[in-house]
A and B are shown apart, each in its own frame.
Chain A
Amino acid sequence: MFKFLLRRFATMVVMALCLTYAVFYFTNLPPNLEKIAKSEAGSRITDAEVDSWLAKNGYASSTPQRYGEWLGVVPGWRNTTPDGKVTGRCIARGTDPAVAPRFCGVAQGNMGFSNVFKQPVSSIIGLRLGLTGWLMLCVVCVMVPVSLLIGILAGMREGNRLDRSLSAVSIATTATPEYVSGVILITLFASSVTGLKWFKGTATSAMDNITFENFTLPVMTISLYAIGYIARMTRASMAEVMTAQYIRTARLKGVRFRDVVLKHALRNALIAPFTVIMLQIPWLLNGVVIVETLFNYKGFGWTLVEAAGNNDVELLLGCSVVAVIVVLVTQLLSDLGYALLNPRIRLA
């Protein structure tokens, strides 16, 4: 078990490094850097001026070198201007270069500074992640019980009318991406066309105060797509368990159908959906980005779009670190949980 964990953890670290390097590489392509230089030093500067600006601000070294600096394993760059002033990555303006630390990267807790929001990246991400946390919490609270219930009810008696209608619903929701269901839900429940106006079409006010009125539609929109998928997986797993020998034995010895489902079938049928739910969380990240844009809820997904759209490299890197960690941790949890739930699997 310990050895498995160690190996799994090592793979995870390697993957995180590869992924962040890929993001670093793509956000630091020469045209992107040129854009940064032009937005910082004026849009009409010549190519030579761009190069000198980049050299002065530590962008001239190779990508692996700068990745190391960003990560905090390579000493930050330092430049000495002709008049003897020392500037550098780790030297804040107005401080003495002599006392400044040599390393300042993610490993030291320094995620950089956002050019668009004019704030440290870590504080932006902390704030936005908190907002998205509420959204995710509500989504999970809605998604998991509803999808499991649909899946179990459908898979309980395979092929009957309940199964057919619930399966139709879940196929329909998996065919509806967030930007479609969001539009449909807003039209139905928040527009003047149907006149229902039960809920609000934006969730901006939910950033200060979450109410049923402003949070229902975003949560529904994210959940719908995932519900169909998880329900179908649960149904398949439940249907398979219901054909097992021990279920037949239980039925034959006269256990009530309700007890067969709840006591005999359910626990075995929930192993597969657990993995699916865990692996669905990274996909929810996509849903979050779309829904936060659609409903103008300024959380993590909205920040990612802003950072990418405005070429805010440090912020985008910070966001991707968070996204990558979320993905890798859920993968690890799903592996471990699967092994714990299913006694037939032994970790060597």
Chain B
Amino acid sequence: MDPLSWPEITIAIAGRLVPVWIALVVTFALSMRFKRRLGLYGKLFDSPIGMLGFGIVMFWVFTAIFADQVITFDPLSQVSRMKNALPGMPHPSGEGYYLLGGDNLARDVFSRVVIGARRVLAIAPAATAFAFIMGITLGLPAGYFGGKFDMALSFLANLVLSFPVILLFYLLVTPEIRVTGIPTMMAAVLFLFPVIFLVILWNSRYFINPMQRNIYVGVTLVFGLWAYSGLAFNADPLGVWSMDPNLLNVFVSVVFVNAPTVFRIVRGIVLDIKTRDYVAAAQTRGEGPWYIMLWEVLPNARGPLIVDFCLRIGYTTILLGTLGFFGLGVSPESPNWGSTINDGRKLLSLYPHPALVPAIALMSLVLGLNLLADGLREESMKD
């Protein structure tokens, strides 16, 4: 078989991505059709920049979801004669092509990038969400009450933010630290925050109706502590929730790096919002402080927080890439984008494609998130 030319490669890749295209078209068609009933999400479709960003992000989300259908070869298998193969080279077995070439271990670059998307999108949004819950749970009282509590937390946040990120990663993501159990301890603290947050959220609103409160809090506690025991301590009695120690180490470190910034943002917004009339009205009604924070202040702070959430997923993606680039907390086989870039950079001047493809993939995902955040910011300001 002859190698493919660039137009043929483009067509072949587009062909592999058919499930992604279908999903994208369906998403856009439905969203456009019902955009007036979808709130802020619907308004996104009024802004071309936001739509472009949303499109790019959803492209990667669907690629990650349909990765098993999209890939052409096993991302880990090495095929002799395909070492550093150029894009479009046929596979020796005569079935299919290395659409974007082979890397220095003769693995298919295209399939590795597609599977790599799954890794990134499994970790980045979840880590960002944990960082947000932690930042919100601590930032709300710090901004609302002020005083010693605020001073202590702000000092801690500044302390973490004063660390150069890479130094922090080199200290926190090592095989040695996993021996000492520090990541598990950090996870034990970090993963408790969602449970605390939800319990306070339900209790502050429904404590006047104990029956309803007990149901909500009970479900949260049962479900939350079940997941907590599995994720933090790997001690889930049913074995549903578990996390690889390597992954836990990376996850915890990324949350730890992001949470102080979220804390500062939330605290700043609360300082602004707590002077508003509706907060004074709630105080006059005799509402408790946590009700005011979670049900009056937080919903009104959602605009900037949603925008920052998008930006922060992008930043987390960059951080994960950095970790991979320095080979921290990943197995050498892993197809994650950062370590693939690092593997490919040694032969960059001769065979750039193994490093270039994941580099562009990472850039486009972060760009999509930034554009999405920009569109959301524009639309939320119009409210």
Listed in ascending order, the chain A residues whose CB lies under 8 Å from chain B are 15, 18-19, 22-23, 26-27, 29-32, 35, 171-172, 174-177, 179-180, 182-184, 186-187, 190-193, 201, 282, 285-286, 289-290, 293-294, 304-305, 308, 316, 319-320, 323-324, 327-328, 331
Within the complex, the shortest CB–CB distance from B21 to chain A, in Å, comes to 23
- Give the docked Cα–Cα distance between A305 and B342 (Å): 14
B residues 344-375 in Cβ contact with A at 8 Å: 344-345, 348-350, 352, 355-356, 359-360, 362-363, 366-367, 369-371, 374
- Min Cβ gap A7→B in Å is 13
Q: For residue A8, give the distance in angstroms from its CB to the closest CB of chain B.
A: 12
22 contacts between A and B (CB under 8 A): A15-B162, A22-B159, A22-B171, A23-B167, A26-B177, A29-B180, A29-B182, A32-B176, A171-B367, A175-B370, A180-B341, A182-B345, A183-B352, A186-B345, A191-B350, A201-B349, A285-B166, A286-B164, A286-B165, A290-B166, A294-B345, A308-B167
Asked if B164 and A282 make an inter-chain contact with CB atoms under 8 angstroms apart, the answer reads yes
**Would you call B381 an interface residue if the criterion is a C-beta within 8 Å of the partner chain's C-beta atoms?**
no
**Contact present for B341 and A183 (CB under 8 Å):** yes
| Residues in A neighbouring B180, C-beta threshold 8 A | 29-31
In the bound complex, residues from chain B placing their C-beta under 8 Å from that of A320 are 167
Q: Which residues of B contact A27 (CB under 8 A)?
A: 171
Contact-residue bracket for chain B: 35 or more
> Smallest Cβ distance from A307 to chain B, in angstroms?
9
Closest B residue to A167 by beta carbon equals B374
B163 touches A31 (CB 8 A): no
A-contacting residues, B154-188, CB 8 Å: 155, 158-159, 162-167, 170-172, 176-177, 179-180, 182
Tell me the bound Cα distance from A172 to B164 in angstroms: 24
Cα A171 to Cα B338 with chains together (Å): 21
Not counting A171-B374, A187-B355, a sample of 14 additional A-B residue pairs whose C-beta atoms are within 8 angstroms of each other reads: A19-B163, A29-B176, A35-B176, A171-B367, A174-B370, A175-B363, A175-B369, A175-B370, A183-B345, A183-B352, A186-B348, A282-B164, A316-B170, A320-B167
Cβ contact of B356, chosen from A184, A289, A324, A331, cutoff 8 A = A184
Q: Among the listed stretches B213-221, B258-266, B319-327, which one makes contact with chain A, having 4 or more residues with CB under 8 Å of it?
A: B319-327
- Select B370's contact among A26, A171, A304, beta carbons within 8 Å: A171
- In the docked arrangement, what's the CA distance between A203 and B182, Å? 38
Taking a contact as CB atoms under 8 Å apart, the answer to whether A31 and B176 are in contact is yes
Residues of A near B176 (CB, < 8 A) are: 29, 31-32, 35
5 interchain residue pairs of minimum CB distance: A175-B367, A31-B176, A308-B170, A187-B352, A26-B171
